[in-house]
Amino acid sequence: MQRAKIPILEKMKTIMRWIMVYIAIAGTISFSLFILEEALQTLVFSSWQSISCNKWDTVKEAITLMEETESTMSKINNYAGWINPLSWLSYNAFGKSSRHYNKALKERAIANEPELFTGETITINDSFESYTKENDIFVIKCKNSRIKIHLTNFTESKYVSVTGILQKNKDELFVSSN
């Protein structure tokens, strides 16, 4: 003897199956994002330890790993995180704050051990202390850095912001722009 199928119960079973599929997919994506967030937090904690003992090469490693991990987290969140809107909002905010922390950490590392970044593109945001002009190039000395800035055009102001490749010539570190 076969049980009679009740149409409303059959519909409920189908709906429940789809809800379970949604929960499984959303949970898998959210859990992956959670693990990446934990990895970022671990890198933040390790950078604090490295700063305490002035191990700027280890801080630089942490910066690179944080950039890679945050990039992976943002890609997963932007491509698949929308399946869980609250999770997407949370991880989007975490990604923004992580990028800001990493920017500040990189600025601190550059200020303390700029030689580690020779040959890399960096951004200097600083107030300038003084400048000289040598062979039509303005050489600007900043207050908070051992790096000098070489510019072909310079309008004297209180603040300087330059992005360029950090170079070394003898004992001088400099960034050239424009």
Q: What is the CATH number of the domain that holds 135?
A: 2.40.50.140
Q: Which of 44-58, 89-103, 108-122, 137-151 has the lowest mean pLDDT?
A: 137-151
Tell me: do 95 and 15 sit in the same domain: yes
* 0.85 surpassed by pTM: no
Tell me: do 126 and 166 sit in the same domain: yes
- Domain assignment of residue 159, given as a range: 117-177
Tell me: do 30 and 88 sit in the same domain: yes
Written in H, E and C, the secondary structure of the chain is CCCCCCHHHHHHHHHHHHHHHHHHHHHHHHHHHHHHHHHHHHHHHHHHHHHHCCCHHHHHHHHHHHHHHHHHHHHHHHHHHHHCHHHHHHHHHHHHHHHHHHHHHHHHHHHHCHHHHCCCEEEEEEEEEEEEEECCEEEEEECCCCEEEEECCCCCCCEEEEEEEEEEECCEEEEEEC
Domain termination residue (choose one: 112, 134, 150) = 112
Tell me: do 144 and 87 sit in the same domain: no
pLDDT tens track for 123-172: 888 777 777 788 888 787 877 678 888 887 777 777 778 888 998 888 78
